[in-house]
Amino acid sequence: MSKRILSLVLAMVMVLGTFGTVFAADTVTTEAEAGAFLNSVKVLVGDENGNLNLGNKLSRQDAVILVAQLRGEIEAAKNFSKLPTYEDVKIKFYNAPLAWAQDNGLFVGHSEKVFGFGENLTAQQYSRVLFEALGYKVDTTDASDIKYSVVFDKANEEGILKGLELAQTTEITRGQMALMTFNALGLTMKDSKETLAEKLGIEMPEAPAAKELTAEVNDTENLKEVVLELSNAKLVDEDKLVNTNNYKVVDNNVVKATVEGDNVIILLEKALLDGREYKLRVRSIDKAVNKEYKFIARDNTLPKVEDVVVLGEYGIKVITNEPIDIYEGTDRGRNFVVDGKNVAMNVESYGRETILTPYSKETFKDAKTLTITGLTDFAGFKTGKEDFDLEVVKDDVAPKVEDVILRNDKVVEVVFDKDIYIDSVEAYDNRSNVGNISYLSGRHTIFADKATKIDTNRVRYEFNEEFLRTRTDFTIVDVTNHSKVAMEKTNMVAREILDNVEPEIIEKKIEVTNFAKGEAKITLRFDKDVTGFMDKNDDVKFDYTKHIGLYERDVLRRNDVSKDHVDAVKYDVDKNGKLVKDTIIIELHSLKEWKARNTDRDNYYENEMDYVLEVERFASGRNEMYRDYYEFKFRQSTGFSVKEVTVDERRNETHVTMEFTKKVDRNIAEDETNYIFTNTKNARKDVKDLKGRIVTEKNGYEVTLIIPDFKVADYKELRILDVLKDIDGNRLNTETVYNFVAGTISNNANYTITKQADGTFLIEAKKDDVKEITLKTDARETFVVKGNLDKLTINAPNADVEVLDTIEEVVIEAIKGETLTIKGRVKHLVLSTDKLVSVKGITADMKITPNKDVTVKINGEESKLNKDVLVVVDADGKKVTKVDAKANLEAAVTNVEKAVTTGVAIELKVTEDKDIKEADVKAALEAYLTEKAGEDYKVTANNFKVVGDLTISDRNVVSAVFVVKEAKGTESKELIKENIKVIINKAAQEDAE
């Protein structure tokens, strides 16, 4: 029944984690009350006169009777047929129980012949009795669950000694025994949710419900859940308690809120950092508890599978004691094995519950055993390997609708009475498949446009059209259980749960998109989808005048510069063209650069320009946001970034040295919390957690993290937080991640690197809205980039790079020769290197722009590229032609021909009578024709000849022969035209002055 634990430390954590008090211990607080209660449930029996003798010492032989009572085996003990080997038993009544205890190894004597009859029991000895009643092995060996030497301390920690002041050697009275026993009845059995009282069939007394509502938040027991502990949850409307909008943790979203007894378990979208302090904000529940609660994120719980439930031929539910990192910490093919085989399956995660459903037409029909291995929690701890017997039978009971809830004008949630099959959850697809839910609007039937299973028994349906908010009657059909038994058609009037919480901005950031033009993009992310006043005939852009105010320095009407700088306010759009309605993009232009404060008090604000963005009137349903502000400075990138990371793994410690582009602020650089390591188990630790130290090198550019007993192979990445500053106060350009496996440096932690079975490293964006990735590494590896991007920057002088999907622009700063392989599509290749670059694969219609003269090899054929010259490779990869990078050369030549044919009149102004220089005529003609050719071209004249007098007169016309031979680095056909007229005027004397 018990499992071997390799680490003694982990074993102790597991023992502590399995205890839980189910009843309110303060219902019985005295020895007399405990004795009376135990007597009433026949655990403690009085003498022939009914006296419990609570003041008498507890004898060893009476403790054996209690062991039998607590195991529910008193009749077996009293009627045991054998005799004990002990020779000091003085009362025959005890022979059978002592023999029973001795035979079952439940209570040991001093020796085979001496029991210690008549001796009194100590607090330590009775603590052992109680823990063994709870199913734990207590002795002096390594095989024990609890060492005998610490059993008294464990009893104190778990509340068994609550209300008592005892030393471990104290000989306890029957009254003290009664209170210890009562306290133990509320603890859970080993490896079970069942309490000792429940095992014995004892109904514990309930504490009187609190009449006043209070709440507290303690440090977390895992990194994905926060628990709000209420004095009495029944004093609050449960709809408010489970409404996720009523809880807020900064920079995080609440996914689910579940009421268990008087506790609200709040499931978060993102895992917390172990050891960090956070705040939970509670709102719109009750004024007695609406406030902020500080807590520290801890993980004191080892992950454990508590139950496996067969839901039908198409579903198995795995229940754990804490949320499992299904998407990061699990390898589905190995974590869930059916009858020794890897089965392709869908894994649904809903906090502590995980549902497995087979892909395609496969079923679990004949499955006998589910083996679960290595489920990982968000601190990186894993479960062991465990087999669970399966008995798969058809579930003939269809799901029923329990509740239909309106969340806002377009969203409805349907709650079922049991777990539902995810493949039966559908929205409208076509006339043959209209989905699960509909309602009537006049004579029209309106169907849902999106359906999402959000819990084991709950579905969110979204409509494009607003439905009636008063007594909307919905029809729900075709949702099934995990045996594909469909529900009966159900009509139910939805009840409205008002969302009284205003939307809130949870993330603000600015990105400079074009510094020269003063252009920037501000991204505002809300905690829920928002709506606003749209531009006429537009479903993406907002009327910015209703939502945005931009001010210089202070929010004053005279400082409002919105009309001068705001281009657009609009929804964000993902790569599939879908609106992201919780994210607003603000595009700005012509912003003024922020510079350091001017010390001249008379000209104080001349160079220092702060902006304040005022945001208002975005709403969710009926709730409009509170006015919010974002102060920012428009400035060019500070250039303060991580240049290089080197790792030196030594015998007893590892040195991780970061070289920055500017000297660092030492105080901030040596803050241990600014560097976060993630190990291969996904546990996150800062330098302090790892008992390391930080040294800023004398040159000021390098910072070294010195970590004892650090094995590089055990770690995935190091996050360098953007709170670091240089000595001038400029923050690090962006949070930077060093990948220990691949040796790469990346910005914003916006992509993951995974080593594949073939030894290559797969790079994938973490989210759909990631548009740019920078790959910076000295590793001699092959990196495979997956996903559609706007831009990929490669600085990898020793690496091979493969592109699988479509990338708008690839910038190569450094790359190993002959190593860019395109299996998808690259629209524009920018070469920021003077070394040979080789491109292989699909290169049709790809533009190439070098920043300097560079040789490019396209599918084996070399070509020398002059500045701004483009190479286009045909789809067959064989033909190489040259055209200009920004426009077609032939068009420019045509423009020049047209100008020459029509005739050119150039006016030269001179201030005195003298000969006109031929060079001046040449320059004027070239300037004019260059302008006609286009700004990307330079027209030059060779073999220039003039006909006529070059001496100034009142009006002098010069004819010329003009030959065009060069158009910005590319040979062209010659243009020879005669009789180009140059008109030379004498300028007025005052103009010259």
Three-state DSSP class for residue 307:
strand
pLDDT at 918: 73
Highest mean pLDDT: which of 116-120, 307-311, 830-834, 840-844? 307-311
Q: Give the integer Cα–Cα distance in Å for 829 and 811.
A: 6
Q: Which residues contact 608 (CB under 8 A, 6 or more apart)?
A: 594, 595, 596, 597, 598
The average pLDDT across 910-934 equals: 72
For the 305-389 domain, the top CATH level (class) is mainly beta
pLDDT at 222: 92
Q: Give the integer Cα–Cα distance in Å for 964 and 962.
A: 7
What sign for the dihedral angle of Cα 726, 729, 733, 736?
A: positive
For the domain bounded by 401-496, which CATH number is listed? 2.60.40.1220
Q: How many CB atoms lie within 10 A of CB 626?
A: 11
The average pLDDT across 469-476 equals: 80
Q: How many CB atoms lie within 10 A of CB 1?
A: 7
The average pLDDT across 725-731 equals: 79
Buried b (16+ CB within 10 A) or exposed e, 255-287: bbbebeebebbbbbeebbbbbeebebebbebee
Comparing CA positions, the residue from 819, 828, 866, 862 lying closest to residue 847 is 828
Comparing CA positions, the residue from 992, 926, 991 lying closest to residue 918 is 926
Q: Give the integer Cα–Cα distance in Å for 238 and 216.
A: 18
29-35-37-43 Cα dihedral, nearest 10 degrees:
130
Q: Give the integer Cα–Cα distance in Å for 418 and 742.
A: 46
Contact at 8 Å (CB) between 404 and 492? yes
> What string of DSSP letters covers 839-875?
EEE--BT-EEEESSSEEEEETTEEEEE-TTEEEEE-T
Residue in the structure block whose two tokens are 């299996």: 823
Q: What is the pLDDT of residues 310-364, one digit of tens each?
A: 999 999 999 999 999 875 434 455 789 999 888 878 889 999 999 999 886 678 9
User: Is the pLDDT assigned to residue 415 strictly greater than 80?
Assistant: yes
Contact at 8 Å (CB) between 60 and 119? yes
Tokens of 571: 């929804």
pLDDT-derived band at 597 (thresholds 50, 70, 90) equals low
In sequence order, what are the beta bridge partners of 561? none
Pairing of strands 519-526, 450-455: unpaired
pLDDT at 468: 60
The average pLDDT across 214-233 equals: 93
Alpha helix segments (H runs only) across 158-199: 174-185, 196-199
pLDDT-derived band at 609 (thresholds 50, 70, 90) equals low
Residue 556 CA, distance from chain mean position: 38
Q: Give the integer Cα–Cα distance in Å for 406 and 492.
A: 12
Q: Which of 336-340, 440-444, 452-456 has the lowest mean pLDDT?
A: 440-444
Backbone angles phi, psi at 953, to 5 degrees: -140, -175
Q: What is the pLDDT of residues 25-45, one digit of tens each?
A: 455 778 888 888 888 887 777
Pairing of strands 437-441, 411-416: unpaired
- 344 or 871: whose pLDDT is higher? 344
Q: Give the integer Cα–Cα distance in Å for 283 and 178.
A: 44
What sign for the dihedral angle of Cα 906, 909, 915, 916?
A: negative
pLDDT at 669: 92
* Domain extents in the chain: 8-58+120-199, 215-296, 305-389, 401-496, 512-526+539-633, 748-886, 889-992
Buried b (16+ CB within 10 A) or exposed e, 155-177: bbebebbbbbebebebbbbbbbb
pLDDT at 323: 93
60-64-69-75 Cα dihedral, nearest 10 degrees:
-140
Q: Give the integer Cα–Cα distance in Å for 675 and 914.
A: 75
For the domain bounded by 748-886, which CATH number is listed? 2.160.20
Question: 182 burial class (0-12, 13-18, 19+ CB within 10 angstroms)?
Answer: buried
Q: Give the integer Cα–Cα distance in Å for 564 and 553.
A: 15
Q: Which residues contact 154 (CB under 8 A, 6 or more apart)?
A: 15, 16, 127, 131, 146
pLDDT at 566: 94
Question: Of all helices (H) and strands (E), which one includes residue 931?
Answer: helix 918-933
pLDDT at 749: 55
- Say which DSSP state 721 is in: -
Question: 40 burial class (0-12, 13-18, 19+ CB within 10 angstroms)?
Answer: exposed
Question: What is the layout of strands, in order, in the sheet containing 369-372?
Answer: 341-342, 336-338, 369-372, 386-389
User: Is the pLDDT assigned to residue 899 strictly greater than 70?
Assistant: yes
Residue in the structure block whose two tokens are 């801890």: 298
Q: Same topology for domains 401-496 and 748-886, yes or no? A: no
For the 215-296 domain, the top CATH level (class) is mainly beta
pLDDT at 266: 95
The average pLDDT across 860-868 equals: 47
Q: Give the integer Cα–Cα distance in Å for 317 and 859.
A: 53
User: Is the pLDDT assigned to residue 872 strictly greater than 50?
Assistant: no
Contact at 8 Å (CB) between 411 and 466? no
pLDDT at 21: 39
Q: Which of 2-16, 83-97, 159-173 has the lowest mean pLDDT?
A: 2-16
Q: What is the pLDDT of residues 475-524, one digit of tens each?
A: 999 999 999 999 999 999 988 877 777 888 888 888 888 877 889 999 99
Q: How many CB atoms lie within 10 A of CB 365?
A: 13
Q: How many CB atoms lie within 10 A of CB 222?
A: 26
pLDDT at 782: 87
Q: How many CB atoms lie within 10 A of CB 531?
A: 18
For residue 117, give the amino acid letter. Answer: F
pLDDT at 478: 95
Q: What is the pLDDT of residues 812-830, one digit of tens each?
A: 877 775 578 888 888 888 8
User: Is the pLDDT assigned to residue 966 strictly greater than 70?
Assistant: no
Q: Give the integer Cα–Cα distance in Å for 324 and 136.
A: 27
First to last CA, the chain: 106
Residue 117 CA, distance from chain mean position: 63
CA separation, residue 61 to residues 131, 252, 617 (Å): 18, 58, 77
The average pLDDT across 89-102 equals: 89
* Rg of the chain on CA atoms, in Å: 39
Contact at 8 Å (CB) between 317 and 456? yes
- Mean pLDDT computed over every residue of the chain: 80
User: Is the pLDDT assigned to residue 746 strictly greater than 80?
Assistant: no
Contact at 8 Å (CB) between 414 and 476? yes
pTM of the model: 0.54
- Say which DSSP state 673 is in: G
Three-state DSSP class for residue 136:
coil
678-682-683-686 Cα dihedral, nearest 10 degrees:
10
Residue 363 CA, distance from chain mean position: 32
pLDDT at 215: 93
For residue 292, give the amino acid letter. Answer: E
> What string of DSSP letters covers 776-800?
EE---SEEEEES-EEEEEEEETT-E
Q: What is the pLDDT of residues 611-628, one digit of tens each?
A: 999 999 999 877 899 899
Q: Which residues contact 827 (CB under 8 A, 6 or more apart)?
A: 806, 807, 808, 809, 845, 846, 847
User: Is the pLDDT assigned to residue 574 strictly greater than 90?
Assistant: no
Q: Give the integer Cα–Cα distance in Å for 690 and 908.
A: 78
In sequence order, what are the beta bridge partners of 491? 475
Pairing of strands 854-858, 861-865: antiparallel
- Say which DSSP state 589 is in: -
Residue in the structure block whose two tokens are 């650089």: 669
Three-state DSSP class for residue 577:
coil
Pairing of strands 837-841, 820-822: parallel
User: Is the pLDDT assigned to residue 365 strictly greater than 50?
Assistant: yes
Task: Tell me the residue ranges of DSSP E strands in 109-214.
Answer: 138-139, 146-147
pLDDT at 418: 95
User: Is the pLDDT assigned to residue 983 strictly greater than 50?
Assistant: yes
pLDDT at 452: 93
For residue 539, give the amino acid letter. Answer: D
Q: Give the integer Cα–Cα distance in Å for 197 and 521.
A: 62
Question: 640 burial class (0-12, 13-18, 19+ CB within 10 angstroms)?
Answer: buried
Tokens of 334: 């190995």
Pairing of strands 956-967, 341-342: unpaired
